[in-house]
Structure formats: structure tokens, C-alpha cells
Structure 1
Amino acid sequence: MVKNVTTVFKVSAAVMFLLVLAGVLMPDALETITANIQTFISNAFGWYYLILVTFFVIVCLFFLISPVGRIKLGKPDDEPEFSRPTWIAMLFSAGMGIGLVFWGTAEPISHYAVSSPTGETGTNQAIKDAMRFTYFHWGVHAWAIYGIVALVLAYFKFRHGKPGLISATLYPVLGKKAEGPLGKIIDILAVIATVIGVATTLGFGAVQINGGLSFLFGLPVNIVVQFVIVAVVTVLFMYSAWSGLSKGIKILSNANMLLAVLLFAVMFILGPTMFILNLFTNTIGTYLQNLPAMSFRIAPLDEDTRSWITGWTVFYWAWWIAWSPFVGIFIARVSRGRSIREFVFTVLLIPSVIGFLWFSTFGGTAISLEHEGLARISEYATEESLFGVFSNYPLGMIASILAICLIGTFFITSADSGTFVLGMMTSNGSLSPGKGIKLTWGVLLSATALALLYTGGLQALQNTMIAAAFPFSFIMLLMTISLIKSLYGEARELGIGRFNPPNRSYKR
């Protein structure tokens, strides 16, 4: 039973319930509405997404060299709770999860053979373009979005003792309005963005598990099978949420990393190893060389290219923004005691490089098979392309089963963590949200994922993601301004950098 519910919980849960109800009762109308909203936002504000996310990257990079980078995310005597390797593993598993497995093969092969970002498919240049744009979508821009939200939350929570709410980070900008109705609206928008962000990821997971079972055992790919998959996983993660089995979730989190490393090692060894290493090395260079141009690429004079940017880049920026409250709260929670400089360096660069290796291995193998005429991976459905790659190598069946298990464990841990974070966000920042609240969010997460799949599959997921992320993007901008204002106010008080008077130094 849900007790002592907040206004944020009531309103946000009601909004999501109505969305699910609309998906069940009038799926065609909901699909049309979300498609129209997505088209309008993408066409009218694609430029805004590109500038905003690049602004987050610039702010993060500035903190790397700024004297305020010495400030701790916590009190002066706070020490990190986790070792650096454990911390990095947590960052990576929280930030990517199912998405990395789903798109690891599908995105590079699509850019190479189906719809190139530069209009040239199937050539040597198309290979380079495919990989550098994949790096672009999963690299420092994605992690800057996560990093900004996590940095703001950690700074205000651990250094200034504020509640773990989005609205609480906006006090330097909004003043007492952050505690009133405006603050509640901000928290409601953050919750809705988070629900849709997590639900979209769960939808991708259900579709890929369905695709793997279809490829291996001939099961049909349809909403009925996906409903059963979501139902089974829902029972598992809600049992965990109800019983508070922190050990179980810890075991699953470790299993995620073990399975991911094992799957990576199998593909790296069995696949074209030298091609993977050479592709990784070359693409790092072209990615860095072209990063400024890609960051602002909107193609105002080329309708086809702009459509590609909308379907890929704008979608990804919206996905990361919608996913950022969930990931941000998690990363903030495990980053107490780190300096801002260490936080930014680690969050931006290390998971990005790990992701580049992942895409070079799985995407590079798929491209190699197709480029050499050994297989037509691009002809598989998006959710089946990974399993299509495995089928061309020894131990392919074992690797496919490992991949399905990995998606399943990512699914369970993401959903379980999502219920906790949503419970926290709708319980005034409580670190121990009630079981009833967590179970309510568990049901709504699964129901939202199924409703979106029912109304239009993957395209409906993408449309709704872009629509949900749009209002929260403005909140992220205010959070960034709030952080900068507060940091430099503190720097002035402590005498850091250019605020440092003669014969006075800052020691931390």
C-alpha cells in the first residue's frame, strides 16, 4: 500500500497512467500524436539540441582546467566510498547497459550499408564514416550529458546537504521558488522524462531478447512474445524491489560486467582482431579531428542529410537527456569524495574509450563480414543483427545465449534501479523510498514500455523519447547555470584561482 505520497508522485504517476491507457485504448492516435510532436521538435529545435549538448561538453572540459576542479564533491574530509576500478565499472554499467548491446552491431552496420551519414555506402570511406559517427553518438557528448546532471546533484547533495531532488539544485537560480509549485513542476518533468527514458531502454531490451529467441529458436517477433518477456522480467525485478535484496542486485551487477567482458573477449578473439585494432586506432583520430564539425552539423541545405541527423543524432541526444536523471542520480551517489576534476576526467573519457572498443569489436566485425562479401548483416532486423554476426563464427550459439543473458541481467538491474531512483525522486529525495511507491513505478515502467511497443514498436519509442526529453533539456540548462553560479561563489569565498588574494592558498 502506498502511504504518505507526495504531490510529485501523484501527478507524475497519473500522467504516466494516462499515457499507458491511451496506448491501450487508442494506439493509432497515440502513435500519430507522438510522431507529430517528434517531427515538430526535430525540425524546429534540432539546432537547439546540437548547441545545448555541445555546451555541456564545453562546460565539462572547462572544469578540467579550471581551478574550481579542485573542489570536492563532499566535505573537505570526505573520502571516496569505492575504489577507482569499482567506480569506473559502476559508471559504465549504469550509463549504457542494454543500449550498448542493442546498438553495438546495429548502428555501425546501418551507417555503413543502409543509410550513411555522408550519403556514401559500402565503400572504404563509408567504414570510417560509420565508425566515427557511432563514436560521436556514444562518446564524450553522451557522457557530458550524464556528467552534468550527476555533477550538479553530487555537488549540492554532498557539499551543501541539499535533498536529492532536481529542484533542490536550482536554488541559486530560482531562489525560494525552487521549493514551491515551480519546483514541484520541475521534479514532475524530471520524473516523466526518467520514466520514458528507462521504459524506452526496457523496450529495446524486450525487442532484442525477442529477436534473439526468434533467430535461435524461431519464435515470432510480436507484441505477445514481448509482453511475456516484459512480464517475466517485471516479476523478477519487482521481487527484488519488494524484498530489498541488495545482495542479489549486487550479484547481478557483477554478472553484467562479467558477461560483458566475456562476450567482448569471445568476439575480439574470434573476429578479425587486427582489423578491429586498426579500425579502433584510425577512427579515434578521425573522431577527434572531426569532432567540432560533427557537433554542429545540421545540414540546412540538404534535406536527406538533415533527416539522417534527426533520426540518429537528435534521437541520441534526446535519449541521453531523458536517461540522465536516472543515471545522474546513480553516478552522483557513487562519486562522493571525488574532486570535480577527477570526476569529469573519469566520467567523460574512460567510459567513452571502453565504448569505442566495444563498437570497434562488434560493429567492426559486422562491417568486415559485409565488406568482404561473407555475410549480409545489414539485411537482418535491427534487433537480430548481433545474432547474425555470431552465426558466422564458432561458438556462435553460445555467444548468442550469453548475449541474451546479458540483456536480461541489464534489463533486471536497470528496471530495479529505476524503481529505486523514481521512488527517491517522488519521496522528497528519501534514500529509502517505500515499497509501495517502488512497486507502483515498477508496474508503470513495464506498462509504459509495452504501451509504446504496442503503439508503434521502435519508432514509437524514439518519438516519445524526443518529446519527453525536450522540456527537461531546459531544466538541465538551468542546472548547469546554477552549478556555475554556486561554484564561482564558493571559489570567491575560498580564494580559489583568480579569486585567490596575495599570500593565501587553497588546500584541500
Structure 2
Amino acid sequence: MLDTLAQRLGLRTNPTIFFSAAILMVVILTVLLIFPDETGEIFTAGRAWIVSNLGWFFIMGVSLWLAFLLFLAFSRFGNVRLGDEDSRPEYTNVSWFTMLFAGGIGTVLMFWGVAEPISHFAEPPRNVEPYSVAAAQDAMSFSLYHLGLHTWTIFTLPGLAFAYFIYRYKLPIRVSSVFYPFLKERIYGPIGRAIDVFAILGTLFGVAVSIGLGTQQINAGLNYLFDVPNAVLPKVIIIAILTTVAVGSIVAGLDSGIKRLSNLNIGMAVGLMIFVLFTGSTVFLLRQMIETIGLYAANIVPLSFWNDAMATYTDEGGWGWQGGWTVFYWAWTVTWSPFMGIFVARISKGRTIREFVLGVLFAPSAFTLVWFAVFGWSAMEIDGIGGEGGEISAAVVESVPLAMFEFFENYPATVLIQGLAVVIVAIFFATSSDSASLVVDMLCTGDGEAGPVRQRVFWGVSEGLLAASLIVLAGEAGLTALQQVITVIGLPVFLMVFAMAFALIRGMQQEKIERPAVAPPEPPLTDEEKARAEQEGPAALTDER
């Protein structure tokens, strides 16, 4: 019946996966809209339990994943090519990087580039004096820990697993393919379908939360510049407009749409960063770039295992500072992992495991370090390191999305630059949405070819509707409500990614990787052979042997 329905609708997909995911998404949307208060209470209670009891599991897990990936990169498997042995990368390193970044956390850096360092600067996570030098250094260390190697680890592990099983084992482009070493042919049955449907729903929610954050920042910017009300209705209108832009890119496809938008957006973001660097305290920022590398290197290992275990429990939930920051980041980022993993795998065919791991981990992380060094240190210097805080800190207390716009008040061409920041956030939002839509479509079709236009448009519109519903559900609570939703959804996805590491190990062990044959050493000559060699020459023995 589902096959017939798919044919009548002109779809080219797996009907079971497509319709199951679509129906469940509609059901969730309906529940969110009809019972917003009850749903909010459930997510609030769920988040409180998870961060109180399993926060340590999130912290330990991501750090273990990072160590595992580095081990693979430098092991004998590092030279294994993700594809046939004669395959080569389809995209240049520059295009590959821009697509990685724009499809990944471009929106996040625009949202948190100023806000996170200033937040930790004003309210330090550890016991140091606010606005002090120590607070500034801690603020930068935590910001890079959250959005550097560890964030990209969450994308790299599933991306490597997808690429390995899709290109080495020639399996469909689906999350269930990663579990082939355990499930074998059952990936094509009910268990495999259930995994794929769950991955689609998790991806839709993860992207919807990102769209919600981006929409809050765009609305804050429009409110700051043009007095557009900072309310639910304008945010829903913003989502509708930008979803339309994203759908246009979806129709254009990966090479024409997403690649062009990604290159345009990364260029604009780099231009904005250069503007801040050269119109601000240039020498101070250049010096801080070098120091920031040292700060990150010195603190990444301690922070990777810091659990905020001595946090004081309170009546409000008692999970300490880390529950609202690190656990939220990891839970949110991991919901992106099916989408980003398959997206990264799709654009990385032909690269070796070593190239893949080191490229996906370090190239975006290096850009993130420079970004935070420029924006974070600039903001903290403006507010007064060693002082008592300033306008940017006050803006973060009032509304996190306002931080970027208050920050630009200290630079020339203020209104123009603030407007440009809104445009960059909007395009990052569009690239994330269209990338996710194409990937969700791939999860349904099982191959790398784009499905029919109507099919891709359906997922693009669905992401917009889900994001708008979360905005309505969040209401005045805003970011807090989005944190609650994504933390609850992130836990089962986190467990799934953990299982991917074991599947990858098992798959590598089971595959017969071709290696160059090494000729055995020649046995020593006998006395008879030595005599013949003297009489007839060495060639006589070589031919015989």
C-alpha cells in the first residue's frame, strides 16, 4: 500500500522510512502545539534528570571518542581510502572546508562568538574573580573546549563510520548501514528501518533547535536596528522567509545551491572577522591568537574530564554550571551527528581515513580558535579586563542574542556591520537547513542522488514547521526551553553514536584490506649452486629460482 502511495505522489524513496518518519513528525508537531505546557513540563523534568545523573557520561563519552579518532588516524588503518583504492576526492580542500564549516556550526559561532566568552568572563564557571585576567583566560578556554575539537569529534565519528560502510562495504546511505557488522542483512528489515526513522527525527529536532537559536539572534538584531518586536510572531515570520530561501537552495542541489551558498557565507564571515581584527586592537588580538593556542593546549585535557562534580545542588535542579553549558552543547551537537555525519561522508569520498579525521577535526577547529580569539578577546577588552564589566556583559544578562549587536556599537559603520551580521546568520541558517534536508532525503532514498524536488521540498518545509513549533513552545522562556528539549532528545542519539564506534572497529576487523605483497627472502645458495653460478653466471640461477 505504501509503495502504491509513493508512486502516486511521484516519490522515489523507501516508503516505510519516509512515511513513518513523516507521520511521527506530524504527531510530534501536533502534540507540541496542542499541549505546550504539559510537553514543556515533561522536557523540563527529563532534562533535570539527565544532567543530574548522566552529565558525567556525556563528558567522558566525547573525550573518549576524540582519543579513539586520533588513534585510528595514526594507526595502520589511517591509509585506508574511503572508496575504491583508485578513487580521489571530488572537491578541493578549500571547497571541502567551507562546506564542512557552513553546514556545521557557522550559525553557532555567530551566536556564541561574543556571547559565550563574555558570559564566562562575567560569571566564571570556576572559582575566580569575575572580569579578572584569570576569568578572561578561563572564558576563552571553556569557549574553545565547547566549540573546538570536541564539537567536531561529534561530527567526525559518525561521518567516518558512514563513509567507511557506504564506500568500502557499498551499503546504502543510511544510518542503519553503520550497524552492518552486528545486524548483517537485518539492516534491511524492521530493526534497520527503526534506526533510520529515529535518526531522521533526531536530525530534524537538532536542526530545528539551531534554526530556533539563529532566529532569536536575527529577531534580536532586527529589534535592535529597526524596533521589530522581539516576540513569537516575528520569529515565526523570519523562519517562514528563510525556509523559503533554504528550499530554493534545496531545489538547486548540492553543487549549485549549497556549495555556492557555503562559499559566499564563509567569505562574508571571514570578511567580518578581518574587519574586527583591523579596526580593533590589532596588535593585542594578534598576540592573543598566539596565547590562545597555548591556553587551549594547556587546558583541553583537564577540561575534557572536568565534571563540575563539586557543584552545589539547589532547589532549581542542582546540576551545576556544566548542565546548562557543556551537557547542553554535547546533547545538541549529537542530534546533528546523523545529518552532519552523512553530509561530511557525502563530500569526502576518496579521502583516506587519516585525511578525513585530521581534516574534519583540525581545519574547522583552527578557524574556531581564530574566530574566538578575535571576537572573544575584543569583547572582553572592551568590557574591561580587570574592571567591573560593561555594556556587552549587561546585554548578555538581558538577552544572549543581543551580545553581538551591542559589541558592534564599538566599531565604525555600526549599523552597516550589524545589518551584515544579520545577513550572515540568515545565510548560515539557510545552508544548515538545505544541507539537512538533502541528507534527510538521502536517509530515505538510501543513495547519494537527490530525490524528486517535491520530496526534498517536503523535508525543507518540515524543518521550518518544526522550528516554528519549538519557538511557539519556548515562548518567553526562549533559550532555556530549547535547551530542555534538545537535552532529552540528545541522550538516545548519544548512545547510538557510541555504538557506532564499536561497529566501526568490528567492520575494520572483518574487512579484508588489501596490502602490498612482500616477497619472502631468498634462501642461501648451496655449494652446488655456487659452483654453477661461477661457471654459467648468476642468470642461470635467477631463471631457475
What's the TM-score, normalizing by structure 2? 0.87
Counterpart in the other structure of 1:333: 346
Q: Could you give the per-residue CA deviations for residues 39-72 of structure 1, whole angstroms, max 9, x where no partner exists?
A: 1111121111112111110111101220110110
| Cα displacement (A) at 1:166 | 0.7
Counterpart in the other structure of 1:371: 384
Stretch of structure 1 that moved more, 3-12 or 49-58 = 3-12
Structure 2 counterpart of 1:256, from 265, 269, 282: 265
Counterpart in the other structure of 1:109: 118
Contact 2:121–2:136 (CA<8 Å) still a contact in 1? yes
Cα separation, 2, equivalents of 1:428 and 1:247: 22
Structure 2 counterpart of 1:29, from 31, 38, 47: 38
- CA distance change for structure 1 residues 243 and 88 in 2, over 3 Å: closer, same or farther? closer
Counterpart in the other structure of 1:417: 435
Aligned pairs for 1:36-435 (under 5 A) are: 36-118=45-127, 120-242=129-251, 244=253, 247-303=256-312, 306-371=319-384, 375-380=390-395, 381-429=399-447, 431-435=449-453
Q: Could you give the per-residue CA deviations for residues 362-394 of structure 1, whole angstroms, max 9, x where no partner exists?
A: 111111111256842011121111111101111
Query: What SS is found at the alignment partner of 2:445?
Result: coil
- CA distance change for structure 1 residues 208 and 176 in 2, over 3 Å: closer, same or farther? same
Counting aligned pairs with the same residue, the percent is 35
Cα RMSD (Å) of the superposition? Answer: 2.1
Cα separation, 2, equivalents of 1:413 and 1:55: 30
| Cα displacement (A) at 1:31 | 1.4
Cα separation, 1, equivalents of 2:251 and 2:268: 26
Larger Rg, first or second structure (1 or 2): 2
| Cα displacement (A) at 1:484 | 1.3
Matched, 1:472 2:487: no
Count of residue correspondences: 500
| Cα displacement (A) at 1:261 | 1.1
Stretch of structure 1 that moved more, 2-11 or 240-249 = 240-249
Cα separation, 2, equivalents of 1:14 and 1:378: 44
- CA distance change for structure 1 residues 324 and 493 in 2, over 3 Å: closer, same or farther? closer
Cα separation, 1, equivalents of 2:188 and 2:303: 39
| Cα displacement (A) at 1:195 | 0.4
Matched, 1:494 2:514: yes
Structure 1 counterpart of 2:460, from 442, 446, 471: 442
Query: What SS is found at the alignment partner of 2:50?
Result: helix
Query: What SS is found at the alignment partner of 1:303?
Result: coil
Cα separation, 1, equivalents of 2:459 and 2:87: 33
Contact 1:173–1:478 (CA<8 Å) still a contact in 2? no
| Cα displacement (A) at 1:458 | 1.6
| Cα displacement (A) at 1:282 | 2.0
Query: What SS is found at the alignment partner of 2:410?
Result: coil
Query: What SS is found at the alignment partner of 1:122?
Result: coil
- Gaps of at least 5 residues in structure 2 are 1-8, 522-545
Task: Letter of the 1:475 partner, please give it.
Answer: M
Counterpart in the other structure of 1:459: 480
Stretch of structure 1 that moved more, 377-386 or 78-87 = 78-87
Query: What SS is found at the alignment partner of 2:235?
Result: helix
Query: What SS is found at the alignment partner of 1:391?
Result: helix
Q: Could you give the per-residue CA deviations for residues 101-155 of structure 1, whole angstroms, max 9, x where no partner exists?
A: 0111111100101353445421110000000000000111111111111111111
Counterpart in the other structure of 2:543: none
Query: What SS is found at the alignment partner of 1:468?
Result: helix
Q: Could you give the per-residue CA deviations for residues 232-263 of structure 1, whole angstroms, max 9, x where no partner exists?
A: 11222223434659534433222101111111
Task: Letter of the 1:310 partner, please give it.
Answer: G
- CA distance change for structure 1 residues 59 and 229 in 2, over 3 Å: closer, same or farther? same
- CA distance change for structure 1 residues 213 and 183 in 2, over 3 Å: closer, same or farther? same
Cα separation, 2, equivalents of 1:453 and 1:328: 26
Counterpart in the other structure of 2:502: 481
- Gaps of at least 5 residues in structure 1 are none
Task: Letter of the 1:463 partner, please give it.
Answer: Q
Cα separation, 2, equivalents of 1:145 and 1:338: 19
Stretch of structure 1 that moved more, 355-364 or 126-135 = 355-364
- CA distance change for structure 1 residues 143 and 12 in 2, over 3 Å: closer, same or farther? same
Cα separation, 2, equivalents of 1:489 and 1:503: 26
Cα separation, 2, equivalents of 1:375 and 1:309: 25
Q: Could you give the per-residue CA deviations for residues 201-232 of structure 1, whole angstroms, max 9, x where no partner exists?
A: 11111111101111111111111110111111
Task: Letter of the 1:192 partner, please give it.
Answer: L
Task: Letter of the 1:494 partner, please give it.
Answer: E
- CA distance change for structure 1 residues 245 and 66 in 2, over 3 Å: closer, same or farther? closer
Cα separation, 2, equivalents of 1:320 and 1:362: 22
Counterpart in the other structure of 2:524: none
Q: Could you give the per-residue CA deviations for residues 10-55 of structure 1, whole angstroms, max 9, x where no partner exists?
A: 2222222222222222222121111111111111211111121111
Cα separation, 2, equivalents of 1:63 and 1:122: 41
| Cα displacement (A) at 1:430 | 5.2
Cα separation, 1, equivalents of 2:138 and 2:244: 42
Cα separation, 2, equivalents of 1:430 and 1:81: 13
Stretch of structure 1 that moved more, 230-239 or 69-78 = 230-239
| Cα displacement (A) at 1:80 | 1.2
Cα separation, 1, equivalents of 2:102 and 2:267: 11
Cα separation, 1, equivalents of 2:243 and 2:149: 32
Task: Letter of the 2:470 partner, please give it.
Answer: L
Cα separation, 1, equivalents of 2:408 and 2:497: 40
Task: Letter of the 2:329 partner, please give it.
Answer: Y
- CA distance change for structure 1 residues 213 and 182 in 2, over 3 Å: closer, same or farther? same
Contact 2:128–2:134 (CA<8 Å) still a contact in 1? no
Q: Could you give the per-residue CA deviations for residues 300-320 of structure 1, whole angstroms, max 9, x where no partner exists?
A: 232369521111101111122
